Amino acid sequence: MKATYFKYQLQFKQASGTSRGVLTYKDTWFIQIEQGSFKGIGECGMFKGLSIDDRTDFETKLLWVCQNIQLGLEELLISLIEFPSIQFGLEMAFQSLKQEGSFELFPSDFTKGQDSIPINGLIWMGDKSFMKQQIKDKLAAGFSCIKLKIGAIDFDKELELIKSIRDEFDAQTIEIRVDANGAFKPNEALEKLKYLSDYKLHSIEQPIQQGQLHEMAQLCSETPLPIALDEELIGVFSVTNKSLLLQTIKPQYIILKPTLVGGFKGSQEWIDLSESNNIGWWVTSALESNIGLNAIAQWTYTLKSQLPQGLGTGGLFTNNIQAPLAVRSGQLFYDLKTKWNLKF
């Protein structure tokens, strides 16, 4: 068995606004394992400025993994506890090898093209007119759940945007999720949540910055609007600490980005703990290429969640890898008419 890795830069079709600034490209890394005549590929989609493994020794660790691939998946995962995106890339690559080099990592009705996954339509940060046009486009495309990034423009303008949706579509017709990416100050968050709750939103992600456990716990206990933890889960490695965080904060939901929380294994630990604490959850991609998105989508389908998932990022890049993933009417499909094309 041997392994190699290489870097790839994904280019956005249009500059995309996030709480970490405007993105025009996204670096990612692929790891390829060869055994006999089969090759398995995985994506280590470390997210600069967000991932806990955004470290100067990231590529050094990737090289170490390739040089020590004979240790096997289980031992490598233990050694990579502080490198969740590499853990996930290895899980993908080994799962592909298990399927004799196929991209059908978890065969199901989804990969057979017989079923689909409901997803939310993502609205990027920007000025009011830009965000309003995105909303119109998503609604016209048949989405029944949209997610708005908020916290970048004036809060009153964001409320106007949300009100404009609710004036036309009630909560039974369109589900609205908002993601503040930690934009609110703790002393103002509850008041803002009260204003937002007037519009019958599904939930708000990460209203205040991660790491403020007491403040977040108090907010979750008093909120008029369900709160979902996102960034709060990053860098929490052990099951004991994961359990402690959930029992301390008691959120209404958690959001799982496998690239950021240790792949399938790390995400499953969060799911098991959340369900034992009566906390809801859903899965979201983190701007991976279609290789990572494919793995996340196939695994997510096996979980049989009824909630819309955050898996609609495959069309963001000009140079994404061609894959049989297609979005139609707010659903993610595995389109068997489209073949994989690994042109890097």
Could you say which DSSP state residue 19 is in?
Answer: T
- Do residues 279 and 178 both lie within one domain? yes
Beta-sheet strands, E only, within the chain: 2-18, 21-35, 38-44, 117-118, 121-123, 145-149, 175-179, 203-205, 227-229, 253-256, 280-283, 325-328, 331-334
Residues labelled catalytic? 149, 257
Average pLDDT of every residue of the chain: 94
- Report residue 121's pLDDT band, with 50, 70 and 90 as the boundaries: very high
In terms of domains, do 142 and 204 share one? yes
CA separation for the pair 183, 206 (Å, rounded): 8
Please tell me whether residues 132 and 255 are part of one structural domain. yes
Residue whose structure tokens are 């600034």? 21
- Calculate what percentage of the chain has a pLDDT beyond 90: 85
pLDDT at 126 over 80: no
Residue labelled with tokens 């494919």: 294
Pull the structure tokens for residue 15: 């500059």
Amino acid at 143: F
Is this prediction's pTM over 0.75?
A: yes
Q: Which of 35, 68, 98 is the last residue of a domain?
A: 98
How does DSSP classify residue 177?
A: E
With a cut of 70, say whether residue 19 has pLDDT above it. Answer: no
Q: Tally the residues of the chain.
A: 344
Print burial letters for 142-160: b (CB count within 10 Å at least 16), e (below 16).
Answer: ebbbbbbbbbbbeeeebbe
State the pLDDT confidence band at 225, using cuts at 50, 70 and 90: very high
Same domain flag for 166 and 314: yes
- Distance, in Å, from the CA atom of 202 to the CA atom of 196, rounded to the nearest integer, reads 10
Does a structural domain hold residue 110? no
**Under a CB-based contact definition with an 8 Å cutoff, are residues 36 and 336 in contact?**
no
| Range of weakest confidence among 69-73, 76-80, 122-126, 185-189 | 122-126
Taking residues 301-308, report their average pLDDT: 96
In a domain? residue 344: no
Residue 311 lies in a domain: yes
Question: Above 80 in pLDDT, residue 116?
Answer: yes
pLDDT of 344 strictly over 80: no
Q: Are residues 127 and 74 in the same domain?
A: no
How would residue 124 be classed by pLDDT, with cut points 50, 70 and 90? confident
CATH of the domain at 52: 3.30.390.10
Residue with tokens 């609110």: 184
Both 266 and 303 in one domain: the answer is: yes
Contact indicator for 82, 238 with CB cutoff of 8 Å: no
**Banded pLDDT at 83 (limits 50, 70, 90):** very high
- Residue by residue, DSSP assigns 128-143 as HHHHHHHHHHHHHTT-
State percent of the chain over pLDDT 70.
Answer: 98
34/141 same-domain check: no
pLDDT band at 18 (very low <50, low <70, confident <90, very high): low
DSSP 100: T
pLDDT bin (cut points 50, 70, 90) of residue 343 is: confident
Indicate if 238 and 318 belong to the same structural domain: yes
- Supply the pLDDT for residue 17: 65
- Confidence band, pLDDT 50/70/90 cuts, at residue 150: confident
234-269 tens-digit pLDDT: 999 999 999 999 999 999 999 999 999 999 999 999
* Shared-domain flag, residues 70 and 198: no
Lowest mean pLDDT among 61-75, 121-135, 327-341: 121-135
* 3-class secondary structure, 197: helix
Tally of structural domains, the chain: 2
Cα(269)–Cα(281) distance, integer angstroms: 12
Range of the domain at 215: 117-334
How far is 69 from 73, CA to CA, in rounded Å?
A: 8
Residue at token pair 């997610």? 147
The answer to whether residue 335 scores a pLDDT higher than 80 is yes
